[in-house]
Amino acid sequence: MSGFIAWLQTVYTFLALVPFVCFFAAWGIVYGLTKEKKKATYMAVDITTLFLIGSVTVMTRNIFQSGFGLWAVILLFLVVGGLLGSMQSRLRGKIDPLKIVRSLLRIGFVVLSASYVLLLFIGIGKYIAAS
């Protein structure tokens, strides 16, 4: 059992290091199964967001030597989720948790993708300056 867990950890580590490989793999698998481009794109965005969380967290820890990255991402998701829930409650009178989660994943994809690219350039600059 520990061999399987080690394998899963290795796969997750690779996909978190290169989250856009995960996007294309997920898109290809979903498109191959459903033949719907829109559904494949949405599913790939949702899956990639989960890997971007880990990737941005690790990059933040490595660049700034701070463990605050994960907590900042969680705080961001909680605040945006609360705002979306409040907006839904005011506009419709009820809350649809599934729509809130979908919206959170898609907003998170955009924000975390931009953060990933920014942190990547900061990391490269820091590496060049150190050598």
Residues 6 or more apart whose Cβ sits within 8 Å of residue 17 = 55
The C-alpha angle with vertex 114 and arms to 47 and 100, in degrees rounded to 5, equals 50
Q: What is the reported pTM?
A: 0.86
Q: Which two tokens stand for residue 93?
A: 């009178």
In single-letter form, the type of residue at position 72 comes to A
pLDDT tens for the chain, 131 residues long, are: 688 888 888 888 887 778 888 899 999 999 999 999 999 999 999 999 999 998 999 899 999 988 888 999 999 999 999 999 999 999 999 999 999 999 999 999 999 999 999 999 999 999 999 88
